[in-house]
Amino acid sequence: MTETPQTQSSATPTLAAQYQPGEVEQRRYEEWVRAGYFKASAASDKPPFTIVIPPPNVTGSLHMGHALDHTIQDWLTRRRRMQGYEALWLPGMDHAGIATQNVVERQLAREGLSRHDLGREKFVERVWQWKSESGGAILGQMRRLGDSVDWDRERFTMDEGLSRAVLTIFKRLYEDGLIYRAERIINWCPRCLTALSDIEVEHSDDEGELVSIRYSDEIVVATTRAETMLGDTAVAVHPDDERYKHLIGTEVELPLTGRRIPVVADAHVDPAFGTGAVKVTPAHDPNDFEIGQRHDLPSLTIMDERGVITAHGPFLGLDRFEARPAIVAALRAQGLIVAEKRPYVHAVGHCSRCKTTVEPRLSLQWFVKTEPLAKAAGDAVRDGRVRIEPGELAKRYFAWVDNMHDWCISRQLWWGHRIPVWYGPDGEMVCVGPDDQVPTGEGWRQDEDVLDTWFSSALWPFSTLGWPERTAELEKFYPTSVLVTGYDILFFWVARMMMFGLYAMDGKQPFDVIALHGMVRDEHGKKMSKSFGNVVDPLDWIERYGADATRFTLARGANPGGDVPVSEEWTQGSRNFCNKLWNATRFALINGAHVDGELPADLSPVDRWILSRLQHVIGEVDQLSDAFEVAKICDVLYHFAWDDVCDWYVELAKPVLAGGGPAAERTKRVLGHVLDQLLRLLHPVIPFVTEELWTALTGGETVTTAAWPSPVANLVDDAAEGELATLQRVVTEIRRFRSDQGLRPAQRVAARLDGLAAAGVAAHEPLIRSLVRLDEAGDGFSATAQLAVTGDVSVALDTRGAIDVAAERARLEKDRAAALKEAEQTRAKLDNPAFVGKAPEPVVRKIKDRLAAAEADLARIATALEALPPA
């Protein structure tokens, strides 16, 4: 038999009696970094594998979404590194324009200062100071999680090199007519005083008021933002709406203002919605702006940047939310309110940073013309250059890129990449690239705005590798291999990276695969939220249960594209799994398991069985890896490790090891090999405990660079697997029967085993008896209990004196009453339509599982009662 090459084993390997993550994780991580295992070289002749980390905000800290994202990326990177790839996982952070500026402004406010007191230059210096002293805490937290990133390549979106990339692509886009400046409706935050991108606006269903206002005897309009009527410049109706055809081209008087505004016909209006007539406020609504453009309507801005009314009249100086009820009251006083509906629940946008209600606002801003860029981004997926996993999410991607609006990229902030455009005293406008001379002379000034943070993040896959220079890193590691991220930013960051990557890199995609995962939720499938009180800090779990247990819990729920439920109970189970591995490996070392030399040729059916199972598991893990099925991989490895290796093979090996001789020596070698390969397979998802165990078992330097297992065809043994399946069934059924009969696990009972030869397991009778504590049926044997295990195998036991029949019958009757009560309660819940219809699906599924378990208990108890001998 053959196997993958092994390192030499240590002479006297030892492991502590218990696994203590806190004593292992930091030490091992520092050893890995110091040894340079995570470094990637552009000069390597190995095939490249590249992941650029979705850069967390410099203000951020590790949350469950990060922990999930990083666990998947680390699994991918560590596996490829073991497979012989030049694996680069590139770390870094985003400067997070709005979030970071808010942090520093709050800091200044505590000192009684504002950014304007400092001025732009001093304020930016203050932000850099904050970044160096307090920013980037998440990088240290990534180490706690075990991220195998190349720290020598850490980047920041405001680095000199990345800033050069920003200036380069801005000028190229500008010269190609793909960046322009114009007045458009944008999302505006009256608190942060800046435009926002779509990703920075969070929508929620808020309670408001819908008021219907009479504009004339024949026209009534409805609005949730009555204050905006001060900026109306028209009423629009559908051109084919018979109710209003005679009014098209006429004028009506706008209430409270005395202004007369036209009635225009526009196909955008839905005649079936409301009254079929809509107010048009071009400066404060994106749809109204488009109507205004089509009909050459004036745009009246009636609020300032803080949401304060600027229209002359009785409402001047009122905040927008003060003006709203005041205007409704004035209209009501004039008898112009036709109807009021409150509460009226509707979607309202909020700034993702400060939660202020966003205001649509007409503003002079910089935009990217997205149509040609978005088309290229869609084509790259359609023609197969980029694959989206899972494939069904490609439809959502196309729905976005095929209907993308131009992207507002200017922000009214001081922290960020300042727009590289200068304005001259005579109306000149010059775009300045990184190598261009900045205009000088009296009257020249640079644009005050900075670029949207997502603009620089969109360059991340290639700017971090040295673009715009043609570096060796860019040649080696671009396109990157996989982008791992949540489906929630598929439309925003992912699409933007696709657009800029294809544009800047001559049609080369920024990544080959987009692997999307869902959101982390609690065990009931509920979104984690501070208001729900169910937010979990992954660092807390790492502290209490270890990084491996935290990672394994997240990975076991990571089905592609699906949300990931987690609970502390599951993390405790993951910790128990790590402990199980520890105990099994410690047992193996104490009993002389090793990895020296070739696998023996003359192996027992038990040894051949576990080796055969191992080959199937290796093949299944590789197959699932290609589909990014992390959860299924963890499930396969969990059950192989816990069930096949620890619960069965180790137990089956104990009597062999205790017996000594050649058989024991062969089993020591097989046990060492199986654990060696299992620890390699598990390493990408639980790196710390596997490193500690593998180095102790093999004497090797590190498992991080050990070869990834490959299945060996001649180790597959269907006959041995069939034979052991029968043995397992016999042992399992006898153990269950003993338990049902009330026999203590260690109590030995005389028994007769019939049919083992017919079942093909006669050679295993001594092993079976050892595992289930059965003695030979000697003189005076009397069968008081009978069990049919399979069609061939039956067991007769002499339980006289072994159990108190009356007490056992009383125990079983008590258990039956409890199981019956559980079955009735769970069945009543499932028969209640109100419960089934309203309860979350995981809760309903849990009740169904409880009912099934109760029914199984009832059947088992009935069989046990029937098998009891007479009292």
Share of the chain above pLDDT 70, in %: 97
* Tens-digit pLDDT profile for residues 800-809: 877 667 776 8
In this predicted structure, what is the pLDDT of residue 379? 97
Q: What mean pLDDT, rounded, does the chain reach?
A: 92
Higher-pLDDT residue of 784, 272: 272
The least confident of 447-461, 641-655, 823-837 is 823-837
In this predicted structure, what is the pLDDT of residue 7? 43
* Tens-digit pLDDT profile for residues 700-720: 999 999 999 999 999 999 999
Q: Is pLDDT above 60 for 100?
A: yes
Cβ atoms 226, 315 nearer than 8 A: no
In this predicted structure, what is the pLDDT of residue 861? 83
Q: Is pLDDT above 60 for 124?
A: yes
In this predicted structure, what is the pLDDT of residue 804? 64
In this predicted structure, what is the pLDDT of residue 536? 83
Compute the distance between CA of residue 702 and CA of residue 682 in angstroms, rounded to an integer. 14
* Tens-digit pLDDT profile for residues 362-398: 999 999 999 999 999 999 999 999 999 999 999 999 9
Cβ atoms 488, 519 nearer than 8 A: yes
Over range 541-562, report the average pLDDT.
92
Over range 65-87, report the average pLDDT.
96
Over range 231-240, report the average pLDDT.
96
How would residue 653 be classed by pLDDT, with cut points 50, 70 and 90? very high
Residue 505, judged by CB atoms within 10 A of its CB (0-12, 13-18, 19+), counts as middle
Give, in order, the Cα–Cα distances in Å from 655 to each of 16, 605, 614, 751: 24, 14, 22, 20
Q: Is pLDDT above 70 for 46?
A: yes
How would residue 871 be classed by pLDDT, with cut points 50, 70 and 90? low
Higher-pLDDT residue of 273, 174: 174
Compute the distance between CA of residue 439 and CA of residue 448 in angstroms, rounded to an integer. 15
Q: Is pLDDT above 90 for 540?
A: yes
Q: Is pLDDT above 90 for 357?
A: yes
Phi, psi of 846 (to 5 degrees): -65, -40
Q: Is 530 annotated as a binding residue?
A: yes
Higher-pLDDT residue of 11, 209: 209
The least confident of 329-333, 454-458, 673-677, 784-788 is 784-788
Q: Is pLDDT above 60 for 8?
A: no
In this predicted structure, what is the pLDDT of residue 545? 97
Compute the distance between CA of residue 826 and CA of residue 720 in angstroms, rounded to an integer. 42
What's the token pair of residue 459? 């360059």
Q: Is pLDDT above 70 for 531?
A: no
* Cβ-based neighbours of 660, under 8 Å, separated by 6 or more: none
In this predicted structure, what is the pLDDT of residue 2? 36
In this predicted structure, what is the pLDDT of residue 70? 96
In this predicted structure, what is the pLDDT of residue 10? 42
Q: Is pLDDT above 50 for 786?
A: yes
CATH of domain 804-871: 1.10.287
In this predicted structure, what is the pLDDT of residue 11? 47
In this predicted structure, what is the pLDDT of residue 739? 84
The least confident of 447-451, 562-566, 617-621 is 562-566
In this predicted structure, what is the pLDDT of residue 530? 62
In this predicted structure, what is the pLDDT of residue 13? 63
Q: Which amino acid is at 18?
A: Q
Evaluate whether the domain defined by 194-360 bears CATH number 3.10.110.10.
Answer: no
Compute the distance between CA of residue 644 and CA of residue 452 in angstroms, rounded to an integer. 54
The least confident of 56-60, 344-348, 474-478, 563-567 is 563-567
Q: Is pLDDT above 90 for 836?
A: no
Least Cα distance to 508 among 50, 152, 40 occurs for 50
Q: Is pLDDT above 50 for 1?
A: no
Over range 349-358, report the average pLDDT.
90
In this predicted structure, what is the pLDDT of residue 6? 43
Q: Is pLDDT above 80 for 234?
A: yes
* Cβ-based neighbours of 407, under 8 Å, separated by 6 or more: 197, 367, 368, 370, 452, 496
In this predicted structure, what is the pLDDT of residue 4? 40
CATH of domain 538-716: 1.10.730.10
Cβ atoms 613, 640 nearer than 8 A: yes
How would residue 405 be classed by pLDDT, with cut points 50, 70 and 90? confident
